[in-house]
Structure formats: structure tokens, C-alpha cells
Structure 1
Amino acid sequence: MLVIEVTNAREVVRKRVGRLGERLLGTVVDAEAQVERALLQELETAFREFGIQARIYSVEGMQMIGRSHLELPVTVRDQRTVD
């Protein structure tokens, strides 16, 4: 199982839409969720190309604590099944 924690979602959004756009979008759009949606799409495409079957989840509320603990609860924001 892989866990990918995006640690610079706001910076990624800022690079895409600029500082003013980030401020405007920040009140409406969750930067982390937006970046995760883009990553889900890229992973899905890559997995299909390699013939990998997987379930990819975008979850809310999970947080890494150091290198050895994962804090829960988990709320699933999105899910893809790649066949």
C-alpha cells in the first residue's frame, strides 16, 4: 500500500493561478482536494498504461505523525477503481 501526503498543495495552486487567484479560490476551493483530484487523474492514466489494477482513494482527515504513525479517522472524498 502506498500513502502519498501532498505537503505543498497551496504552493501548487499558487503556481497555477497566481497569488490573486489563490486568494479568490482559497475561499471557495480546497487546495489540497484540487491537487489530489489532479493526482488521481494522473495516477489513473499511468496505471492504465502499465496494466495496473488498483483502488485509489482521496481521503480527508488522515495525517502522518512522524515516520511510524498514521492518524485516523478517514473520510473518503473520492475513489477510483482502475481495471
Structure 2
Amino acid sequence: MTNAREVVRQRIGRLGERLIGKVADADAQVEKELMKEMEIAFQEFGIEARILSVSGVKTDEMNCLEIPLKVRSEKDVFLKDE
């Protein structure tokens, strides 16, 4: 999301945006509302779904999706010489 603050400002005004900015993340607020709207739309069309909000996923300047992974451990496996 690139304009979450603007959306919040339009919905609740500048003062509300300042207050929400102190208490909650504007992106999270917009995502929450978007998920509610998606849920309603899916229900109207009879669609069962799981909606996820995921942090860390972004696009680069070439519009390629970047998904960072946290590697907890790593192990190299080699064939045994016989």
C-alpha cells in the first residue's frame, strides 16, 4: 500500500489521522478495512476463502515480487562415497 495515510485522512480527517498515527499503523487500519470488504464480497458470491495480511512482501522497480525468507538453519547434504 502506498497511500494508506491519505486514505485514512480522507475517511477520518487530519486530526483523526494524527491520533491514529500515534496509536495504530495506517497501513494496518486500511488492510483491516479492505479485508472486511473482501469478506463481504466473497460471502455475497458464495466464495469460501482465507484472507491473509502478510508483512515483508513487496515489489521492486521492475514490478517483481520480493518475498524475504528468514532461514533458521541450513544443512548441506552430500552423497556418501562408496
Shared fold by TM > 0.5?
A: yes
Q: Judging by fraction of residues, say which structure has more strand.
A: 1
TM-score normalised according to structure 1 size: 0.72
Which of 39, 44, 65 is residue 39 of structure 2 equivalent to? 44
TM-score normalised according to structure 2 size: 0.72
Q: How many angstroms apart in 2 are the aligned matches of 1:41 and 1:21?
A: 21
- Compare relative contact order (CA 8 Å, sep 6+) and give the higher one, 1 or 2: 1
* CA distances 1:1-44 after superposition (whole Å, capped 9, x unpaired): xxxxx321100110112112211211211000100000101101
What residue is the counterpart of 2:58 in the other structure? 63
Query: Gapped runs of 5+ residues in structure 2?
Result: 70-82
Query: Gapped runs of 5+ residues in structure 1?
Result: 1-5, 75-83
Q: How many angstroms apart in 1 are the aligned matches of 2:30 and 2:12?
A: 13
Q: How many angstroms apart in 1 are the aligned matches of 2:37 and 2:62?
A: 26
What residue is the counterpart of 2:30 in the other structure? 35
Identity %: 61
Give the match's secondary structure for 1:60.
coil
Displacement over 6 Å in runs of 4+: none
What residue is the counterpart of 1:24 in the other structure? 19
Moved more, 59-68 or 24-33: 59-68
CA RMSD of aligned residues (A): 1.7
Residue 68 of structure 1 and its aligned partner are, at CA, apart by 4.0
* Structure 1 position 15 matched with structure 2 position 10: yes
Q: How many residues align?
A: 69
